[in-house]
Chains A and B, each alone.
Chain A
Amino acid sequence: MTASRELYWNIHGHGLMYLLFILALAVFAYGFYKKYKLWRLGSQENRIYDVPTRIYKILIHTLAHRRILREGYAGSFHSFIFYGFLLFVFGTFVVALQADFGLEVYKGGFYLGLTLFMDLAGLAAIIGIGMAYYRRYVLKPDGLDNQPDDAYSLHLLLLIILTGFFMEGLRIAATQDPWAAWSPVGMLFATVFGAASVKTLQNIHVVLWWVHLLLAFGFIAYLPYSKLLHIITTPLNQFFSSLKPAGALKTINFEDEGLENYGISQLEHFTWKQLFDTDACTRCGRCQDNCPAYLTDKPLSPKAMTQDLKTYLNDVANSMKNMPTDQGETAELAAASERALIGDVFEEDTLWSCTTCRSCQEHCPALVEHIDKTIGMRRSLVLEESKFPSEVQTVFKNVENNGNPWGVGFADRAKWAENLGVKIMSEVTDEVDVLYWPGCAGAFDDRNKKVATAVVKVLKATDVNFGILGTEEKCCGDSIRRIGNEYLFQMTAEENIETIKSYGIKKIVTHCPHCFNTLKNEYPEFGGDFEVIHHTKFIHNLLDTGQLFIDQPEESYVTYHDSCYLGRYNNEYSAPRHIIKRIGGKIKEMDKNLNKSFCCGAGGGRMWMEETLGTRINEERTKQVLATGVSTVVTNCPFCLTMIEDGLKEHEENSVKTYDIAELLEDKIYCR
């Protein structure tokens, strides 16, 4: 006898099912269309080019759960539920093939295997749902907020599976299914019914079958009105996610004559994708759990920002409904927005609290893009309103007048390199292979001048033919762009690009990851196509290719602080660790390391702002440094170096020293 089971056993009139299915689809389509109309309120943006890469994003982030699994507990229960239901959908598809298309596939070994797998998948999903209940209602982690919809969604999923298992149990009990062993969980449920008569079993089964069906179709209909919509919107959001380098902010095209706004001050200034983000967010709270601003009690939670935008979007849409439609969409939107986007929906302090550390975007399983929204609103404040923390004005003026945020006269920019025998491009006639870009910190900040000097020592120990721009170099523009002064950024960037190009330079080494990121990822959009390398990677290459050698490695214990702009933004975690190991360093990692590294607090232009709200981010990071118990902390970034040194002073900790990775090397290298 071929293994199988009778489809629609005990069911009469299942034709009604198709009617109900269409009804459920209609309710779904209506809800989805309403959402679609909301997304369309946003402005244009092309997010459908390069489809293969986009499909790949869904494969790794939805199908393979790459980011979801970073959190052990939440990741496992989500995968139990996800893969469980994925198998149910597949099983239902197979049943439909046989029942509706006459393909006799649901039989034999395949039937038995699928039955077994679905049984186990159902069990896994029940366990997953149980874990989810436990986490949400017993453990109550800070990142979760509980809304009725969260409970409804879990109840619905659980009921669908339980009714399914009970039905299976009833069928097994009533039909004495010879293949019951392949449905172990179903068998377990069959025992519940003990010695009930076949008739009773059949009666209960019929009722349950319709209940199960209504629950499943209800699930479909309920999707667009619930967080469950993420089943559709989250993979779509991954598909639509940005394919630009992580470190490149959105550019304002100032030459666009039709440009009416600089930045985001109203709902319709967001792109459709930015509005779509709000429906891909499941409120899982990972962004918030990893946000240095949130964790130091500042009025910023990336999760709340996404949700507040969603609420605002819905509010505006609701009030639009009650208005005459003959004024054009923009007028309507403006009138409908009773609350101002900046000021009411998002407080200015919230916008200024972000360090652009990218932890939120790094850990969001839905690939929500938070930072461009925040910077967009900062741009409106800076470019349209001229409103920003007062200390920032000096920074803008300093960059305008002297090409550096410190405001030191630009004529002294090459002073740090006097007596080091470094070629200055304007003073030599020969070409160089590499341009060393010390950045403003390396050129003007006393502590970081030592780092620039160390980099020069390392470069001079090799055959690398390099030079610096000296007084011709200007601030890369990282801070001012992230503060929101896109105009000043573009002017500065264009000047730098022109200078670099005038010397025919192809390759640039920076020691500041902010310069590195901006030159590498943001300058290409303005015509600056150079090979840009961070000094950690450059030195690593020199060591690997035998152009540089370590003189007597000494064993020592250190901890290494991953900067945001080298790590999360540019994915460079291994080169610096490799160098440390080569010189004999044993790394005692902090709890928050690699892509979970905790920002020093200086990114996003925060270096130049007072930190008056909550506790200080750098002191928090310094605590984490001190917790390792080592006496040396190694960084790769001038801002991090400053912030951690300040943090150590605040903690009155004199025994711990902070070094840039180049400083660790300078006395330990030789060249053959």
Chain B
Amino acid sequence: MNILVCLKQTFDTEAKIELKDGKINAQGIKNIINPYDEFAVEEALKLKEANGGEVTTISVGSDQTQEALRQALAMGADKAILVEFPNSDEHATAKALAKAVQGMEFDLILGGHVAIDDNSGQIAIRLAEELDLPQVNVVTKLEINDGKAVCTREIEGGVQIVETPLPTVITCQKGLNEPRYPSLKGIMQAKKKELKRIGLEELGLTVDNKVEILEVFLPPQKEAGKVIEGEAEEAAGELVRLLKEEAKVI
């Protein structure tokens, strides 16, 4: 069973976002595999351990994205592909992925249901459309039997169990598994594994972003809460005044 895993490199969850010249300053920021994509890598590895086959990870990004791919290789993935296409939007990324996987043999494409940086949650969905494959999203349990995927997915107030034939695209949600920590042996082996880099030209793809980022700004600093001192009657009066004049909610 051959599995493709789409992954994105994101900032660490604890990274402190700062702006410089109207852009996010990536200086000194530690990058990680998008945590939801990490669930996808883990699930692929588990399926491979149970059924055999190969796990290939693929990412659209820059030079730096190699770190994330290497990390997936260290976890146990067999191959990695980097499509060199920095700053692509969702539309362009999905097009690039679709083109890159064209001709590859696979039974399953896994990915996170959303990336923690832009929260856009589109890539896997768009990719399924591009490839004309069925898709199941936000999956918390996955079973593969007789060429079918049985997926448990979270819905409002309950769960839904969905069955789909392979090949298919599935996006992963927290709860699906606990991603493994790469062993040192895995890290050493990963250094020798294949990491293929492809440019857009090599892919024979011309695609432009459809979305332009106009402005990036930080949310306003949250002010500390106020404690109103004094007797109840006085304090209530002050509270009303503040709600009217400062908060302007009444």
Contact = CB atoms under 8 A, between A and B. Distances in A.
A382 B14 CA distance: 25
Interface string B180-191: 111111110000
B181 A397 contact: yes
A412 B180 contact: no
Contact of A386 (B12, B15, B30, B180): B180
B14 A409 contact: yes
A320 interface: no
Contact of A411 (B16, B32, B181, B187): B16
B35 to A, nearest CB: 10
Nearest to A402: B14
Contact of B183 (A386, A402, A408, A411): A386
Contacts of B187: 487
B179 to A, nearest CB: 8
Interface string A154-182: 00000000000000000000000000000
B178 to A, nearest CB: 7
A262 interface: yes
A383 interface: yes
B184 A487 contact: yes
Contact of B30 (A262, A383, A390, A401): A401
Contacts of A386: 180-183, 186
Contacts of B32: 401
A412 B12 CA distance: 14
Contacts of A393: 178, 181
B14 A384 contact: no
A97 to B, nearest CB: 61
A386 B178 CA distance: 13
B14 A401 contact: yes
B11 to A, nearest CB: 10
Contacts of A382: 183-184
B181 A396 contact: yes
Contacts of B182: 386
Nearest to A390: B178
B12 to A, nearest CB: 5
Contacts of A384: 183-185
Interface string B53-65: 0000000000000
Nearest to A385: B183
A410 B178 CA distance: 24
A31 interface: no
Interface in A367-404: 382-386, 388, 390, 393, 396-397, 400-402
A408 B14 contact: yes
Interface in B173-208: 178, 180-187
Interface residues of B, number: 15
A407 interface: yes
Q: Which of A393, A401, A412 has the most CB of B within 10 A?
A: A401
B14 A407 contact: yes
Interface in A237-283: 262
A102 B219 CA distance: 101
Contact of B184 (A262, A400, A409, A411): A262
A409 B186 contact: no
B104 to A, nearest CB: 29
A390 B177 CA distance: 12
Nearest to B182: A386
A383 B184 contact: yes
Contacts of B184: 262, 382-384, 487
A400 B12 CA distance: 10
A383 B185 CA distance: 7
A262 B12 contact: no
Given A384-B184, A390-B178, A412 B30 contact: no
A409 B16 contact: yes
Contact of B12 (A390, A396, A401, A487): A401
Interface string B15-46: 11000000000000010100000000000000
Contacts of B30: 400-402, 410
Interface in B119-163: none
A336 B180 CA distance: 32
Interface in A632-661: none
Nearest to B187: A487
A384 B178 CA distance: 18
A262 B185 contact: yes
Contacts of B185: 262, 383-384
B48 to A, nearest CB: 16
A393 B185 CA distance: 16
Contacts of A400: 30
A37 B184 CA distance: 33
B45 to A, nearest CB: 12
Contacts of A411: 15-16
Contacts of A409: 12, 14-16
Interface in A392-443: 393, 396-397, 400-402, 407-412
Contact of A412 (B16, B178, B181, B183): B16
Contacts of B178: 390, 393
Q: Which of A388, A412, A487 has the most CB of B within 10 A?
A: A487
A625 B187 CA distance: 46
Contacts of B183: 382-386
B6 to A, nearest CB: 22
Contacts of A410: 14, 30
A293 B185 CA distance: 31
Contacts of A397: 181
Contacts of A388: 181
B72 to A, nearest CB: 15
A487 B188 CA distance: 11
A401 B15 CA distance: 9
A285 to B, nearest CB: 36
Contacts of A390: 178
Contacts of B16: 409, 411-412
Contacts of B186: 386
Nearest to A381: B183
7 contacts: A382-B184, A386-B181, A386-B183, A388-B181, A409-B12, A412-B16, A487-B187
Interface of B: 12, 14-16, 30, 32, 178, 180-187
Given A382-B184, A401-B14, A409-B16, 8 more contacts: A262-B185, A386-B186, A402-B14, A409-B12, A409-B14, A411-B16, A487-B184, A487-B187
Q: Which 5 A-B pairs have the closest CB atoms?
A: A409-B14, A411-B16, A383-B184, A386-B183, A401-B12
